[in-house]
Structure 1
Amino acid sequence: MHPSLVVGFAVAIIAYLALQFLLHGTQSKREPCILETTVPFFDSAIGILRHRANYLSNLRSKYRMSIYTLRMPFQRLYVVHAPNLIQTIQSKANAATFIPNLLDFGMLFSGLNEQSQRTLRDAFGVQGNGFTMSVHKYLLSGPSLKAATRAAVDRLSASVPNHFEDDRQGGLLELVRHELTLALTGAIYGPENPYDDPDVEASWRDFLPGISHLLYSPCPSVTARKALNARTRVIHAFRKYFQTGGHLQAFPMIAEMYETNKSHGLALDEAAKMEMATSLAMLSSGAVTTFWLLFHILSDPDVMMATREELHAVAKLESTSDNSVPRTKVLDLSGIKGKCPTLVAMLNETLRYHSTVINIKQVQHDTTLGDQYLLKKNGIVMIPGESVHHNVDIWGPSADTFDHHRFLSPDSKKKLSTTSAFRPFGAGATMCPGRHFSTSVILSLVAMVVLQYEVLPLQGQWIAPTKRNADLWNAMPKPDWDIDVRLSKMRVEENPVEWRFAWGEDAVKNLF
């Protein structure tokens, strides 16, 4: 063997042994055990790059452990699967010990400079997370939530007939993603919505693959150049949006967040970057959730028939002074959550079965969890929602299968109220405050599609895509491929109808 190869091999062995010694020498015996490692400190990063959203679920299936430690350079990750430990972490008694840690993630992918990052850390440390507080204030409940939802539904109602043309062909995910992008952002950003520009919408889609590189790549400027250039274009659009006063015509939450960021000391350019976080909160999961929900409804004729019947039962026939044909039916979409049990059950099962949300918290001081496990200060606690959603002790032997009827049973409905069993929106302080807004708009779009169109797969049968390449950071796993479909307008020979959609009784009354 060549001497240089011998030296290289010896150096590699020494480095490996040194890393193993450092790994185990800095790990307390009281901490959750370390999983077996091939490349000390780098196994987790390699595993995430290889298996992406499936990484933690693969570890859960392989080791069947309640809690364990993953070590990365300069960071401890405590992955918790057991419901009893999750409850302990989320208890009010531990609210000051386990603190939500989403700020660093948001600042990272938004591209804030170091000065702005320090400014926000200081401001949020004293005054709280302004973004989360604003979303709670405007989108959690009340008249402002109703106004935002109505605006999004109005946009969908006007847009769907134009884009979902008779005999239209295209990818199901792509079709719903475009509609939801314009409806959600239009309702929030108002008439000057940057995403109304097709180039900005396309740039946002080009940016999304770069998030994983920003999280895991040692050199994202090289590995994600296209995505970072796309981010620059989106930020430039928001800079122009604020410069021209577009936020002053928007949903009041946007103007408030902008003024809050300025009061913290952010320049206009840096405040524009923060809209990447707002956009991600709106757009990261909604279209994917809609795709999976439609797939499960459209691929089961019995479920689709039951869903249509429920929607027809809620709709009202518009009164007219003549016997004109076609007749017009009006559907108040604000009532479907309470009056369409099959549709709502399908949404909940879609969220339970597919969600890969991970609740992330930082340990504020050395603490003992469950009187057994030492969690060290600044360690990161990761709670994979999938561990709860696929737990047979909670959901029975069918936990790993999609059950169309699961949430029609009283027992399963009770589980919706506890984050120890159902947590697609996270839990505690990090529970998504915009969940009511997003799910209402998702259900509205699904109702419009189911009532007005026959949707058939071009390949002849519905085949569920795999999710092997889904991103770990996203709460809903994107399918590995889209499903090409053909849309056909519903044709009813007897008593044909046209549809109008509205949100809220007041809006319905205005149509008559």
Structure 2
Amino acid sequence: MNVYVTIGFIVGIFAYAGLQLMLHLTQDKREPCILESRVPFLDSAIGIMNHRANYLAKLKAQYKASIHTIRMPFQRLYIVHTPHLIQIIQNKANASTFVPNLLDFGMMFSGLKKESKVTLAGAFGLNGNAFTKSVHKHLLPGASLLATTSNAVEKLCASLPNNLDNSSTQGLLELVRHELTMALTGAVYGPENPYNDSKIEASWYDFVPGINHLLYSPFPNLTARAALRARDRVIGAFQKYFETGGHHYAMAMIPEMYEANISHGLASDEAAKMEMATSLAMLSSGSNTAFWLLYQIFSDCSALHTIRQELLEVSTKEETSGGPQCRVLSLNLIRDECPTMSAMLNETLRYHSSVINIKQVQHDTTFANQYLLKKDAIVMIPGQSIHHEKDIWGPSADYFDHLRFLDPASRRNLSSTSAFRPFGAGASMCPGRHFSMNVICSLVAMIVLQYNIMPSDGKWRAPTKCNADLWNAMPKPDRDLAVRIVKKVESEDVQWRFVWAEEV
């Protein structure tokens, strides 16, 4: 037995030495520095398993490198941490060199057949895919965004009283997740929305944990069987939705994307699978953002009082013939006329965001007149590196300060994607950000004005984010917060009406 152990040990030593030799022989000296490798080609996979969304920020803190290389089997990753290098990548002159690479991610978890992936890859060029084009067309500021936001607000107005008016104890994340799911998908998919079926809503959230397996597991069919079965149920619901013409009653974006994919050569059942990507875009980060924003507001009594006063001052009194007083709040005014709430939202995005901007190098190039970046490598820009950079945000960068964006210098940073990038930047900037932020602000304002939220154990404690997914732009808390929700006493004498009434 000792002989076999000895042989195994010797083979292991030679294998390790061989991998280290291969790693360094295939790494050009002109490339960004490669970090110390304990397990060649597998360090990053182990690091992601251990540190998840915090992995890249941990590397920056440990090595202090402006840019460095991570080697994975058959893939190079260049991680960029500093503003001046990010500006070079985002320069329009480099748009054809560093190209957003989100299509592969969307196709990976959507369940498309191999031939469908080939079809889409051939149809989509540097100008973006049907999803990106349609979302930019319909959800950038304009009449379509106004109509879709108003629709979502109406759904929140109808849903919240039914779910919150009675005193209740529930998970804060679970609460906002359900409300946003129904409001966002209802406004986009119309009256035949597949998520109206509670089983399909539950199946979506049963599937989401399986995305990590699709990204990192060599055998996802074994390690994520339950999640993939849940995905099949969601896909089946969307296939039925399109077969029965439900998309004809949705916002124009949905039939437009569906018909575009059909025109590219996808079968109808395969085109329906692309709604997995649409669903992820709508549902992956919004509920986490709303959770963290509500936590930051209600755990700070001073901020809560100020925000309530701002919202009340923006609202108007509506004449009624008897009965309770009626007040109207135009939710579209919040971002411009409620400075503390706007500052709180921006600080929530800065402090909590774990967004990573991903681009693919299209050809060998010399970057910043110094570094060789090789064709087909992936460039990753971690938002955390920028959002916690003390040279940008000052010595308090690692702390949450709800007043930060009341300062003119910090407000100026909002317009710089080299300083503030919770939605990414450039061509890969989230095209649905306006819609998502409109609905999140609306939900939070409705809750703040009408309800008190208290932790069930009497003390606010921020949950950790150690297990947050690397792919998600806003980290999910490791545990939900059990809270008690009670209607505000003064709200019982006020009839609130909420509208989204901006003019185009």
Give the structure-1-normalised TM-score. 0.97
Equivalent residue number for residue 497 of structure 1: 494
Whole-angstrom CA distance in 2 between matches of 1:387 and 1:506:
38
Structure 2 unaligned segments of length 5 or more: list them. none
Q: Which residue of 1 aligns with 2:175?
A: 175
Contact 2:359–2:380 under 8 Å retained in 1:
yes
Alignment match, 1:203: 203
Give me the whole-angstrom Cα distance separating, in 2, the residues matched to 1:505 and 1:274.
32
Structure 1 residue corresponding to 2:377, chosen from 376, 379, 387: 379
Q: Return the letter of the residue paired with 2:363.
A: H
Equivalent-residue separation in structure 2 for 1:338 and 1:319 (angstroms): 26
Gap change, CA 1:455 and 1:127, over 3 Å in 2 = closer
Aligned counterparts of 1:66 and 1:505: Cα–Cα separation in 2: 43
Letter in 2 for 1:186: G
Query: How far 1:268 sits from its partner (Å)?
Result: 1.3
Note the 1:5-16 alignment, pairs <5 A: 5-16=5-16
Unaligned 5+ segments in structure 1 are: 508-512
Alignment correspondent of 1:149: 149
Separation (CA, whole Å) in 2 of partners of 1:436 and 1:29: 43
Q: Distance in 2 between matches of 1:284 and 1:492?
A: 35
- SS at 2:490's partner residue? coil
Partner of residue 478, structure 2? 480
Does residue 36 of the first structure (1) align with residue 33 of the second (2)?
no
**Per-residue deviation, residues 201-241 of structure 1 (Å, max 9, x unmatched):** 00000000000110001111111111100000000000000
Could you say if the C-alpha distance between residues 426 and 286 of structure 1 is closer, same or farther in structure 2, counting changes exceeding 3 Å? same
* Cα distance per residue 1:416-449 (max 9 Å; x no partner): 0010110000000000111111001000000000
Percent sequence identity over aligned pairs: 65
**Aligned partner of 2:433 among 428, 435, 439:** 435
Q: Secondary structure at the match of 2:422?
A: coil
Alignment partner, residue 110 of structure 2: 110
Residue aligning to 2:89: 89
Measure how far apart 1:48 and its partner are. Answer: 0.6
Aligned AA for 2:128? G
Q: Quote how far apart the aligned CAs of 1:506 are.
A: 8.0
Segment drifting more, 6-15 vs 477-486 = 6-15
Cα deviation for residue 4 of structure 1 reads: 1.2
Runs of 4+ in 1 over 3 A off after TM superposition: none
CA RMSD of aligned residues (A): 1.3
Match of 1:452 in 2: 450
- What secondary structure is seen at the aligned counterpart in 2 of 1:381? strand
Mapped partners of 1:243, 1:92: distance in 2: 42
Deviation at 1:127, TM superposition (A): 6.3
Partner in structure 2 of residue 510 of structure 1: none
SS in 2 for 1:212: helix
In structure 2, the residue matched to 1:391 is 389
Q: Which of 356, 360, 384 is the aligned partner of 2:358? A: 360
Q: State how 1:261-280 maps to structure 2 within 5 Å.
A: 261-280=261-280
Q: How many pairs align?
A: 504
Q: How does 1:304-315 map to 2 (within 5 A)?
A: 304-315=304-315
AA of the residue aligned to 2:186: G
> Relative to 1, partners in 2 of residues 1:127 and 1:340: Cα closer, same or farther, differing over 3 Å?
closer
Aligned CA distance change for structure 1 residues 114 and 264 (closer, same or farther; 3 Å): same
Which amino acid in structure 2 is aligned with residue 317 of structure 1?
Answer: K
1:325, CA displacement in angstroms? 3.0
CA distance in structure 1 between the partners assigned to 2:194 and 2:176 by the alignment: 19
SS class of match (1:162): helix
Residue pair 2:99, 2:126 contacting (<8 A) in 1 also? no
Q: Which residue of structure 2 lines up, in the alignment, with residue 71 of structure 1?
A: 71
Question: What is the SS of the residue equivalent to 1:460?
Answer: coil
Q: State the 1:336 CA deviation.
A: 1.1
Which secondary structure does the structure 1 equivalent of 2:190 belong to?
Answer: helix
Deviation at 1:29, TM superposition (A): 0.5
Please give the secondary structure, in 2, of the residue aligned with 1:191.
coil
Task: Give, in angstroms, the shift of residue 392 of structure 1.
Answer: 0.3
CA distance in 2, matches of 1:164, 1:223: 38
How much does 1:307 deviate? Answer: 0.5
Measured in 2, the distance between the counterparts of 1:316 and 1:165 equals 23
**1:182 counterpart letter in structure 2:** M
Q: TM-score, normalised by structure 2?
A: 0.98
